Amino acid sequence: MARLIRTEKEVEGRYEEVWLVVEEDALEQWPTGPRDVVGRPAERLDGFERASGQAVYTADLDKPGMLHTAVLRSPHPRARATVDVSPALGMPGVHAALGPGEVEQLSAECNYQGQAVAAVCADTLAQARAAVRAIRCDFAVLEPLLDPDEAVRRGELLGDPRVRERGDYERGLAEADAVVEAEYRTQVVLHNSMETHQAVVEWTREDAVEVHISTQYVWGIRDAVAEGLGLPADNVRVVCHYMGGGFGSKNSPDDYTFIAAELARRTRRPVKCALTRREENTAAGNRNATIQRLTVGARSDGTLTALGGEFVNAVGWGGWSSGTEGPMQMLYACPNVKTTTYGAKLNLPPMKAFRAPGFVEGTFGLEALLDELAAQLDLDPLELRRLNHAEQAPEGGEYSDKNLLECYRRAEPHWERRHEVRARSTGTVKRGVGMASQIWYGGGGPPSYAWVRVGSDGRAAVVTAMQDIGTGTRTAMAQIAAEELRVPLEHVSVSLGDTDRGPYATLSAGSSTTPSVGPAVRAAAADARTQIEEIAEQRGLPKDAPVAAVVDVLEDAQILGKGARGPNPTGMQVLTFGVQVAEVAVDVETGEVWVERIAAVHDVGRVINPLGASSQIEGGIIQGIGHTLSEERLHDPATGRLLTTTLDAYKLPTIADVPEIVSELVDEPDRHLTNLGSKGLGEPPIVPTAAAIANAIRDATGADVRQLPITREEMLRALREAEARQKEKVGAPAGV
C-alpha cells in the first residue's frame, strides 16, 4: 500500500525534509553471499558500445539543421561589462546572438571568471567562435574578494555559519593529557570530466522542448528547465543515454542549457551549446578550497576527550558550504565535539559537488590530526582508531549497520607490512605506511521506480529513467533483474536515460543510484516473477520451470512488473565505512613523493557486481592520488585570474602515476536497508586516500604535511619543520 510519510532526504551530505509516498518493501533480503548472478563479476552491458565508439554521447549528437554556440565569458573575477552583440549578427553563418539579461544566465555583472556574458549561434562552431570575437565588450575591472578569511571577517558568507556542538568541548579539552592543534589546507580541484558540459535543445512544439544533455540527473534537468522556461514539466523531455563523466558536476542544467534553449526558440532550430575544455576548467564547478583549524584532546591512553574545528569553505560565488566538519562530527565516539563551518563567498567560480564533497577535505584534516596525536602519544594509529570506534552514532541514533571494525581487521595484513616497508628505505629515499578511515553517506532513498517487461521469448527489459554515468549501474540493474526473474543475464536489457520513456529514478550522485534504484528493479522483477509463476501453475508446469518455457505461448502478450523503492529504516543512520592503507616513498632531498601501494577495504553492504565495484574503487583512489599530489587549480593571488585552464597546466593523474591497488569489500548486506541491503560505492573510495598518503609520509619521514596538494615545496617545508623540531628536542639542553 502507498503510504505518505514526512522524512529526511540526504543528497551529497545535505538533508532536507520532504513528503514522500512510499510503497512497502515486502521482499525478504537474499542471504549473504554471491547468488547466481548478483555478487558475481559481470562485464558491462554497454561496454562494447562505449569502447567501440558506437555509443552516441551528447557530444556526438548532430541533428539536421543544428546550430552551434559560442559563449563570451568574463576573463575577470569581478567586472562590469558593457556589451554590444550587434557586430556578431553580421558575421558569416550567424543566426542569433544574446546579450546580458536576454536569458537570466547571461549577465553584465561578472562576479567570477567564466561568468557568461553573451552568446552566439551559427551554422558551424568555427563561425560561432569568430562571431563571439566580433562582439564589442568592455570590462570595467573591479577589485575582487579572494581571501576566504577576509570574506569571513567581512561577513561575506553563503548561508549562516554552521555551529554544531555536543557535550562540553571546553571541559573535554581541560580533561585531556595531550592536545594537538594544527591547520590544514586543501586546494581547489576540478572535475574535468572527459565529456565537457553540454546540451542540445530543440523546441518540438511552441510549448515543448527536447533536451539532450550530458547529465547525472535527467529528472532534475526536466524540472529545472520546465521552471526556467515556464513550461509544464511533462513538456520537457530530457535524454541522456551515455555520458562522459560527471563526478558531481552535472546535476543541474546551468547556463549552457538555458542559452541553447533561448537560441533554439529564436532560430527554430536545434542548438548545441558545449563548453570547451578551457571553459570546463573555469565555469563548470569545482571542489572548493578549505582551511581547517583543528584541535584534538585525548587522555594518555588515546581516548579522545575533545575534538574541535573551525572550517572555512572557500566556496566561490555560488554553490553551498559542504559538510567539511562531517567526519569530525561523525567518525569517532568522542563525547565533546564543537565545529564551526563558514562558507566564504568569493569572486571565484562557483563550487559544485565533487565526489563526497566536504568529506574528502574534512577526512584529510581529521585523519592527519589523529596521526599527529598518535605520534605525540606514541600510539599505534590503527589502535588509536579502534579505541575510539563509535558503537552508536555519536550524534544519536543507531547505525542501520556498520562493519568498520571488520574493515580494520581485514586491513591488518596491509598495516603489518609497515616494518618491512620502512626497512626498504635507502639513502635519501624513505618509505612508510599510513592509514585513514572513511565515513560517508551512500544509503540512497525513495522515490525511484522501475518497470520490468517479459516477452514470450523469455527475455526481459528493465525500464527506469535513471542514468549510467560510467559507474556501471546499468549492468548492476540487469544483474538484479536477472537474479530475481531467474533468467540469464544476457537475456536482460536495460532502457534508461529518457524522462519520456520510463518512470522516475534518482540522480547518479551521492552514491545513491544502486541503493535507490536497485530495490525498485528487484521489486519490479519480483512482481513479474510472481505472474510468471502463476502462469506456470496454470500450465501445470513446475514453479521453477525455465522462464522461457513458461511464457513461450504468450505470443504478443507481455508480463509487466512494476516496483518502487521502499523507505529507509526509521531513525537509523545509513552510512558507508572503510579504511585505506597507503605505502609511500619520499626523497627527503628533493621532496618528491611516490605512492607505491594502496590497499582499500570498504563496507558498502551487498555488492552487486564485484568487477565493476573494483573499478569504482580504483577510480576513486586514482582521483584521490591526483587530489593529494598533483591537481590544483591555481589563480593569481593579485588579480584572481585563473592560471590552469588546460589539461596541460592542470595535472591529472596518468597511467604512469598509478600504484599497486588492492581492494576488498566486506560484502555484508545491510540488514535494515531495503530488499537488497546495498549501499553506494561511487564516493567512499576517494574519501580517505589523501589522509592515508599524508600519514604514510609522516611514518616515512616524521614530517607533518598539512596542505594539499603535497607539492615538493610543501614536502620540503614539512621536512624542515620536522628537522627543527627534532633539533629543539635533542639540542635544547646541550645548547645552553
Give contact residues for another protein (rule: CB under 8 A). Answer: 43-44, 46-57, 59-60, 62, 126, 191-196, 242-245, 247, 276-277, 469-472, 611-612, 614-616, 618-623, 646-648, 652-656, 658, 661
Q: Which of 466, 317, 441, 318 is nearest to 12 (CA)?
A: 441
Closer by beta carbon to another protein, 41 or else 159: 41
From the list ligand FES, another protein, none, partner contacted by residue 293 (C-beta under 5 to 8 A by kind): none
Q: How far apart are CA 88 and CA 75, in angstroms?
A: 19
DSSP 3-state of 240: coil
From the list ligand FES, another protein, none, partner contacted by residue 62 (C-beta under 5 to 8 A by kind): another protein
Closer by beta carbon to ligand FES, 243 or else 532: 243
Question: Smallest gap, in angstroms, from Cβ of residue 277 to ligand FES?
Answer: 7
What is the secondary structure of 666-706 as a DSSP string?
A: -----TTSTTT-B---SSGGGSSHHHHHHHHHHHHHS----
Closer by beta carbon to ligand FES, 210 or else 631: 631
Residue ranges in 466-505 that form contacts with ligand FES under rule CB under 6 A:
470
From the list ligand FES, another protein, none, partner contacted by residue 102 (C-beta under 5 to 8 A by kind): none
Question: Smallest gap, in angstroms, from Cβ of residue 216 to ligand FES?
Answer: 14
Closer by beta carbon to another protein, 305 or else 628: 628
Radius of gyration of the chain (CA): 27
Question: Smallest gap, in angstroms, from Cβ of residue 186 to ligand FES?
Answer: 23
Total count of residues recorded for the chain: 736
Pick from 47, 75, 161, 245: which binds ligand FES (CB under 6 A)? 245
Residue reference for cell 605520534: 375
- 94-98 sheet: strands from edge to edge: 94-98, 116-122, 67-73, 271-274, 198-205, 208-213, 236-239
Question: Smallest gap, in angstroms, from Cβ of residue 399 to another protein?
Answer: 30
Residue ranges in 183-222 that form contacts with ligand FES under rule CB under 6 A:
194
Give Cα 428 to chain centroid, integer Å.
37
Say if CB 250 and CB 194 are below 8 A apart. Answer: no
Other residues' Cβ atoms within 10 Å of the Cβ of residue 304? 22
Total binding residues toward ligand FES, as defined by CB under 6 A: 3
Say if CB 72 and CB 82 are below 8 A apart. Answer: no
Closer by beta carbon to ligand FES, 243 or else 525: 243
Question: Smallest gap, in angstroms, from Cβ of residue 647 to ligand FES?
Answer: 7
Sign (positive/negative) of CA torsion 399, 403, 408, 414? negative
Tell me which residue has its CB nearest to ligand FES.
194
From the list another protein, ligand FES, none, partner contacted by residue 59 (C-beta under 5 to 8 A by kind): another protein
Q: How far apart are CA 50 and CA 243, in angstroms?
A: 10
What cell does 179 get? 592536545
Q: How far apart are CA 394 and CA 57, in angstroms?
A: 45
Question: Smallest gap, in angstroms, from Cβ of residue 280 to ligand FES?
Answer: 12
Question: Smallest gap, in angstroms, from Cβ of residue 654 to another protein?
Answer: 5
Question: Smallest gap, in angstroms, from Cβ of residue 473 to ligand FES?
Answer: 14
Closer by beta carbon to another protein, 409 or else 651: 651
DSSP 3-state of 151: helix
Say if CB 209 and CB 231 are below 8 A apart. Answer: yes
Closer by beta carbon to ligand FES, 194 or else 643: 194
* φ, ψ for residue 144, nearest 5 deg: -85, 155
Question: Smallest gap, in angstroms, from Cβ of residue 646 to another protein?
Answer: 6
Closer by beta carbon to another protein, 281 or else 329: 281
Q: How far apart are CA 627 and CA 708, in angstroms?
A: 7
**DSSP one-letter code for 155:** T
From the list another protein, ligand FES, none, partner contacted by residue 662 (C-beta under 5 to 8 A by kind): none
**433 to 472: interface string for ligand FES, x by CB under 6 A:** -------------------------------------x--
Cα end-to-end span (Å), the chain: 82
Question: Smallest gap, in angstroms, from Cβ of residue 262 to another protein?
Answer: 24
What cell does 456 get? 514470450
Helix segments in 56-140, DSSP class H: 86-89, 125-134
Question: Smallest gap, in angstroms, from Cβ of residue 241 to another protein?
Answer: 12
Q: How far apart are CA 570 and CA 90, in angstroms?
A: 63
Q: How far apart are CA 76 and CA 279, in angstroms?
A: 13
What cell does 137 get? 565588450
From the list another protein, ligand FES, none, partner contacted by residue 644 (C-beta under 5 to 8 A by kind): none
From the list another protein, ligand FES, none, partner contacted by residue 538 (C-beta under 5 to 8 A by kind): none
Dihedral angle computed from the Cα positions of residues 644, 645, 650 and 656, in that order, rounded to the nearest 10 degrees: -150
From the list another protein, ligand FES, none, partner contacted by residue 472 (C-beta under 5 to 8 A by kind): another protein
172 binds ligand FES (CB under 6 A): no
Question: Smallest gap, in angstroms, from Cβ of residue 277 to another protein?
Answer: 4
Closer by beta carbon to another protein, 9 or else 50: 50
Please give the single-letter amino acid code of residue 683: E
From the list ligand FES, another protein, none, partner contacted by residue 652 (C-beta under 5 to 8 A by kind): another protein
Binding footprint of ligand FES on the chain (CB under 6 A): 194, 245, 470
